[in-house]
Amino acid sequence: MKKILEFPFGNKQNKHEEMLSFDDEIESIFDEDDEDDDFCEFDEFMEEFADAAQGIRMLALDVDGVLTDGTIYMGNDGELFKGFNAKDGMGISYAMRNGIDVCIITGRKSEIVRRRAAELGITCVLEGVRDKAAALEKIADSYRLDLEEIAYVGDDLNDLAPMNICGLSFAPADAADAVIDMCDFVLINDGGKGAVREAVDLLLDAQGKLESVIDSYINSGQGDRQ
């Protein structure tokens, strides 16, 4: 896939606003021509994103720093617990009901992660992975998918290789700088704080499915695993 242009607004990549300090006041300086250029760039970016998102059939997720905020609570007997976001859980549930399967690829082994995955109905969980790109290729073969049909959300250096070969890559707002620089789309939310839900909604919206997902909740009041 052709490298998508940087998102021209928001976290770590704000190109159209320059802040100056004057007499203890902060003034925003906007250049109208530059702002017009940014909106053109944004339109091009979203067109490329939509084209790439149309073909996504699977969302691959890291755990620490993506499904969680990266904090690991340890006791004398090992890992005690992790914190997961309910909004991410709901997004995962309705992604899988609307043509986007979900898998987990993590470098750690954790009973907590296995339990969370089972709760959400995620059957593809690869733990203790050293080579995440090879793991992603294995998943693609198992599900008979092209790599371009897989989106990946990662936050740290060990996610760079799979992000380099997948069809569309996302990074939470608080991801490592190298991941921010390499990914196709920098999310607004931090890891463990709605980043996965944001990625799901972006994909489903690009595929024209998000509105029907919302309507299904309005009309039926159905519940999902969170």
In the 3-class helix/strand/coil scheme, how is the chain assigned residue by residue?
CCCCCCCCCCCCCCCCCEEEEECCEEEEECCHHHHHHHHHHHHHHHHHHHHHHHCCCEEEECCCCCCCCCCCEEECCEEEECCCCHHHHHHHHHHHCCCCEEEEECCCCCHHHHHHHHHHCCCEEECCCCCHHHHHHHHHHHCCCCHHHEEEECCCHHHHHHHHHCCEEEECCCCCHHHHHHCCEECCCCCCCCHHHHHHHHHHHHCCCHHHHHHHHHHHCCCCCC
Which of 26-30, 53-57, 127-131, 221-225 is predicted with the least confidence, judged by mean pLDDT?
26-30
Prediction pTM value: 0.81
Which of 7-11, 15-19, 60-64 is predicted with the least confidence, judged by mean pLDDT?
15-19
Share of the chain above pLDDT 90, in %: 67
pLDDT of the residue at 21: 39
pLDDT band at residue 6 under the 50/70/90 scheme = very low
Which domains are seen in the chain, by residue range? 56-220 (3.40.50.1000)
Quick one: average pLDDT of 142-146? Answer: 98
